[in-house]
Amino acid sequence: MKEHVDSIFIPSIGHWLDGKKPEQVARFCTDTRSLCSGDCYVALTDLRDGHIFLGDARTRGASCAIVSCPKPAIDLPQFVCDDPNVAMVEMAKLARSMFEGTVIAITGSFGKTTTKDILKLLLGIERNVTLENKNGQRGVPMTLATVTNGESFAIVEVGIDAISTMDRLVELVMPHIAILTGIGKIHMAGMGSESTIAREKSKLLHGAIKNNGHGIFPEECLRFSACRKIQGHCRVVKENGEDMGYPMAMKGDQYYVTVVFEKKI
């Protein structure tokens, strides 16, 4: 993984304090409470000064940290840049541009993490996948920055809670396959209506189509004009699941799927 570190942490983004850098990076993390050994700690400053926790990150086994205010007294490789948030986005762009596999992006008002976990199991993905449900403007770049060609697929959750957020994330993710799980009355304060939610989330489907891929969404989403306009370029899953080969049913704002695995001996 040293080659991956050298290719992502490039001089145009920042520099390593005293030239010290890690051998590898497992994941990126902004909260030392959930940091695992080998992770890169990202010291953000928008809510509170994350540099306060650099010592804690070292104790918990961080491999390095991305900082804007380096702390030479702390024995931890530190990548110094003007803004860790901006650096993460640039690093994500680099990693995504080098990834040669298929990117599957998932959005929707519900079921994103469950869908991701099912696909992770079916495709045998371990590294190139969104960690937990870190799927927003911070989580998506952190996921993409660790994507490598060691796996043929990458599975990225994309969550939004405001208008126009999806525009930036679509450009970052550049999906080949986009899945819209469904539309519900979630994040209404930032969106205003279900129709607006459908319009904004369907932008991920547009991104896949633009990338010569395709989108997938349940039939119930056809009640929104944003989905009807692109149904000819997408796979529309019927509620009885006949076209997908397994039973599927909508119940309120959730969908239920039965998948049967047959093992040949």
pLDDT digits (tens, 9 = 90+) for 169-189: 999 999 999 999 999 887 777
User: Closest Cα partner for 105 from 131, 127, 132, 135?
Assistant: 135
Looking at the structure, tell me whether residues 105 and 78 fall in a common domain.
Answer: no
Looking at the structure, tell me whether residues 140 and 14 fall in a common domain.
Answer: no
Looking at the structure, tell me whether residues 170 and 68 fall in a common domain.
Answer: no
Domain's final residue, options 55, 83, 111: 83
Evaluate whether residue 244 is within a structural domain.
Answer: yes
Q: What is the pLDDT of residue 242?
A: 52
**pLDDT-derived band of residue 132, with 50, 70 and 90 as boundaries?**
confident
Looking at the structure, tell me whether residues 182 and 69 fall in a common domain.
Answer: no
Evaluate whether residue 123 is within a structural domain.
Answer: yes
Looking at the structure, tell me whether residues 131 and 239 fall in a common domain.
Answer: yes
Q: Report the chain's mean pLDDT, rounded to a whole number.
A: 89
**Please, what is the Cα angle at 9 between 79 and 18, to 5 degrees?**
40
Cβ(76)–Cβ(61) below 8 Å: no
- pLDDT tens for 57-95 read 999 999 999 999 999 999 999 999 999 999 999 999 999
Residue 245 pLDDT more than 50? no
Domain's final residue, options 28, 57, 83: 83
Cβ(81)–Cβ(16) below 8 Å: no
Evaluate whether residue 64 is within a structural domain.
Answer: yes
Evaluate whether residue 91 is within a structural domain.
Answer: no
Evaluate whether residue 122 is within a structural domain.
Answer: yes
CATH classification of the domain holding 179: 3.40.1190.10
Looking at the structure, tell me whether residues 108 and 77 fall in a common domain.
Answer: no
Considering its fold, how many domains does the chain have in total?
A: 2
CATH classification of the domain holding 79: 3.40.1390.10
Q: What sign does the dihedral 188-190-194-198 (CA atoms) show?
A: negative
Evaluate whether residue 92 is within a structural domain.
Answer: no
Domain's final residue, options 83, 108, 133: 83
Tokens describing residue 185? 């009355």
Looking at the structure, tell me whether residues 198 and 133 fall in a common domain.
Answer: yes
Domain that holds residue 51: 2-83
DSSP strand pairing (40-42 vs 64-67): parallel
pTM confidence score = 0.86
Looking at the structure, tell me whether residues 178 and 218 fall in a common domain.
Answer: yes
Looking at the structure, tell me whether residues 119 and 244 fall in a common domain.
Answer: yes
φ and ψ at residue 232, rounded to 5 degrees:
-70, -15
Looking at the structure, tell me whether residues 126 and 232 fall in a common domain.
Answer: yes
Looking at the structure, tell me whether residues 166 and 206 fall in a common domain.
Answer: yes
Looking at the structure, tell me whether residues 44 and 125 fall in a common domain.
Answer: no
